[in-house]
Amino acid sequence: MAGTVVIEFPSDYKFLNIVDLVCGEIVEGLCCGRDETNEIAISVIEACTNAIEHGNRQCPEENVRIVFRCEPGRLIVEVEDRGKGFDFKSYLEHIPDPSNLQHLRGRGIYIMKNMMDALRFEVMPGNGMKVTLEKNLPETAADAGSGVA
């Protein structure tokens, strides 16, 4: 069974409680370990806060859309906003050092990149930006990939 769950919500941080809960519930159902569960939830929240803040600029009329695709052996999460995107190629080449205390910001993408197995950005001209997060799951989780506990 292709377990795809979609959730769409206005660009308001208030809704991130829901995202956190849904994410936790889906990942728990995939029988991931505790560390993996945390890594996925943290990364999805980072992607969503970027979508709300940088993508949709907190405009509540613009939605954020998250697609969770539970495939055998991996979980793919797509986070879409309606913004213009950014020059992610050059950003990814020079990700700032996260341990630098001079910087109060700029750790979101670093965290996603280091916690997930794959991170992809895509600008859909006139259509927003899509961030794709992938996590490989252990073999036992692959079989459970069909559903949620």
Partner 1 sequence: MRIVTREKSGVVILDLQGKLMGGPDAEAFKGTIRKLLDAGCRKIVVNLHDIDWINSTGMGILISGYTTMRRSGGDLRLLNVSDKIQSILYVTKLNMIFRCYGDENEAVESFETP
Ligand X SMILES: Nc1ncnc2c1ncn2[C@@H]1O[C@H](COP(=O)(O)OP(=O)(O)O)[C@@H](O)[C@H]1O
**One of 36, 85, 116, 137 touching ligand X (CB under 6 A):** 85
Q: Pick the binder of a second copy from 10, 53, 54, 96 (CB under 8 A).
A: 10
Q: Does 59 bind ligand X (CB under 6 A)?
A: no
Question: Cα separation of 144 and 139, whole Å?
Answer: 9
C-alpha 9/C-alpha 113 separation (Å) is 24
Q: Residue 118: beta bridge partners?
A: 134
129, interface contact from a second copy, partner 1, ligand X, none, CB < 5-8 Å by kind: ligand X
Nearer to ligand X, 106 or 147 (CB): 106
Binding partner selected for residue 54 from partner 1, a second copy, ligand X, none, CB under the kind-specific 5 to 8 Å limit: ligand X
Residue 13 or 91 with smaller CB distance to partner 1: 13
Residue with tokens 């889906």: 26
d(CA 95, CA 106): 8
Q: Which does 41 bind (CB under 5 to 8 A by kind): a second copy, ligand X, partner 1, none?
A: partner 1
Q: Give helix 16-29 / helix 34-50 axis angle, nearest 10°.
A: 150
H helical segments located in the chain:
16-29, 34-50, 88-93, 108-115, 139-144
Q: Which of 115, 129, 133, 141 binds ligand X (CB under 6 A)?
A: 129
Which amino acid appears at position 133 of this protein? L
Residues that bind a second copy in the complex, under the rule CB under 8 A: 1-10, 12, 14-15, 17-18, 21-22, 25-26, 29, 60-61, 63, 147-149
